[in-house]
A and B are shown apart, each in its own frame.
Chain A
Amino acid sequence: MSLLLDVKGVTKRFGGVVANDAVSLSVREGEIAGLIGPNGSGKTTLFSSIVGAHPIDAGAVLYEGRDISALRIAEIARRGLTRTYQQTRIYGQMPVIDNMRISAPDVKEGILPLFRRAGRASEARARDLLSFVGLYEKRDLLAGSLSFGQQKLLEFAMALMSEPKLLLLDEPTAGINPTLINGLIDRLKRANKEFGVTLFVIEHNMRVIMNLADRITCLAHGQVLASGTPDEVREDPRVLDAYLGAQ
């Protein structure tokens, strides 16, 4: 499998705080990669560095073999690399279905396509994806009136609607009803298999990430602590130390 994303020695500082310290990791095309680490270890900062939400201080981000570290967030999104947010971000004053419509892939082509009618296929896809995350019944409600967990699912559906190649998910199960988490894991796996979207997932819930990911990287204090298969990472004494404290 070829490398879709290759992060090479990325450093990001906020004043005196080094949030990412020469982080290197990679995501292979078609896989589900995981990113774990204690609170404040720099996971979300790394996501922001990758998608171009802020400039990085050192290193390079290679996506499909090209350096994207100088590009802005919108340009990177148009190349098929999108993220979701830990605190959900949806268009609150718009109906759920319109949130989906404005996330169609052709809106990334410019403003002229916005004057074209959305195709029947696009409309059908919006409805199908809402059914896929279980929000079809809520399609006419304002997105802002949904619960936090439902907004999280909507944001996931919007991300899929935009047909990314690589989707970075920031804690997809946080705030989701525990009884729905298994269903969500199943949906993430199906999105990966059926829609061919490569996933890179930040997750705090160990049971979820161990079930989901093919490979896992663990961050601590902004540095890569360990990486490997879920079993390797789980057994790694450094990871156990970082989470549970040294014995």
Chain B
Amino acid sequence: MSWRAARYAAVAGSGLLVLAAPFLAPAFVTQFTFLWLMIVFALTWDLMGGQLGYNSFGNILFFGIGAYACAVFQRDSGLGYYEALAIGAALGGVLAAAAAAFLGLGILGLRGHYFAIGTLGLGIAAGEIAGGWDYVGAGSGMTVPLFPGALELRSLFFYFTLAALALATFLTLRWLYGTRFGLALNAVRDDEDKAEAMGLYTARLKTAAWSLSAFFLGISGALAGNLIGFIDPRDVAFAGATYGVWMVLMAILGGKGTLWGPVIGAAVFHITQEIFWTYLLGWQRVALGLLIVAIVVFFPQGILGTLREKFPGRFGSKAEVQ
């Protein structure tokens, strides 16, 4: 079998597995659904942190904006469930992207650690604001409309919509990293002053990247809000200490600045976390903390980064030609 045919077979096989998974293991549908969400988290974080070199600790903001925007639209639009969800999710994505573009004007001017610290406040501030704003339910949060169908159908619906979102995010980023826009992101990461001195439009590049990241996160927030069924300002929408930190960890675990790294990192992290919950109940947070320390100490380059260092030939890197 040729290399090309093997690739097609692998893609077709994975596709079938994705379609069949909820029927093969019905008990785990919700876990799989959250896995797709984690993959969106890691991919969108890596667009900024890995490819552009801007470590954002505030991306959870866009997730929360999407969750609230969609829930408000569902509450007030008067449309049917599916229509309201579809338009609400799109609205969530667009609003999140707009928020990123607006915030980017100020915050993307910060470099390195300053940007990271600047973004750290975003999610916390948003959680406080949402927690005090009656229009979005203030501290008691928001409930979303009930799914019009059986419980099994609901699980399958969210499994497939989040799978589609993860796939769309992955394919968009795969395409993006193949264009010179992707090269320009890497150029800013490697030496922003040089990129500017070469005439690149660095401010627009950074804003575009953050907005794209926010767009997919906004949609994921809209879907996740409906999947969870209840939007708490601090524990769901702007859950910086859980989702907000996990995004960063999953991308680093898998390998920053690679396309597949965040996907692998999300899968490994999510499975490990579920195992901790099942077998180390009561100690799961301690185990998770230790895992995080181990990741940073032993795999600073992430899983893919470490593999690439050990077997450069397999990743298309050429050996030195003398």
Known pairs A51-B197, A74-B197, A74-B202; A102 contacts B191 (CB<8 A): no
Known pairs A98-B183, A111-B181, A114-B180; A77 contacts B199 (CB<8 A): yes
Q: Are A108 and B193 in contact (CB under 8 A)?
A: no
In the docked arrangement, what's the CA distance between A201 and B204, Å? 32
Q: Are A82 and B321 in contact (CB under 8 A)?
A: no
Residues in A whose Cβ lies below 8 Å from that of B186: 91, 93-94, 98, 102
Q: How large is the interface on A (under 10, 10 to 19, 20 to 34, 35 or more residues)?
A: 35 or more
Contact of B2 with A by CB under 8 A: no
Residues 117 to 169 of chain B near chain A (Cβ within 8 Å): none
Chain A positions 111 through 132: 1 when the CB is less than 8 Å from some CB of chain B, otherwise 0:
1011111100000000000000
Say which residue of A73, A93, A110, A117 sits within 8 Å of B196 (CB atoms).
A73
User: Closest chain A residue to B312 by CB distance?
Assistant: A142
Residues in A whose Cβ lies below 8 Å from that of B204: 110-111
In the docked arrangement, what's the CA distance between A53 and B197, Å? 8
Known pairs A74-B201, A74-B202, A107-B199; A89 contacts B184 (CB<8 A): no
Chain A positions 45 through 56: 1 when the CB is less than 8 Å from some CB of chain B, otherwise 0:
000000101000
Contact of B278 with A by CB under 8 A: no
CB distance from B105 to the nearest CB of A (A): 16
Contact of B29 with A by CB under 8 A: no
Residues in A whose Cβ lies below 8 Å from that of B197: 51, 53, 73-74, 77, 82-83, 89
Residues in A whose Cβ lies below 8 Å from that of B321: 137-138
16 A/B residue pairs, CB under 8 Å, sorted by A? A74-B196, A90-B191, A91-B187, A91-B190, A93-B257, A94-B183, A98-B186, A102-B183, A104-B180, A108-B200, A110-B204, A111-B184, A114-B179, A114-B180, A141-B318, A145-B320
Known pairs A74-B199, A107-B199, A140-B318; A92 contacts B191 (CB<8 A): yes
* Extra inter-chain contacts (12) besides given A74-B200, A110-B204, A111-B204, CB under 8 Å: A51-B197, A77-B197, A83-B197, A91-B186, A91-B187, A94-B183, A98-B186, A103-B198, A104-B180, A108-B199, A138-B320, A162-B199
CB distance from B202 to the nearest CB of A (A): 7
Say which residue of A107, A116, A118 sits within 8 Å of B200 (CB atoms).
A107
Kindly list the 3 A-B residue pairs having the minimum CB-CB distance in the complex, ordered from nearest: A108-B199, A77-B199, A91-B190
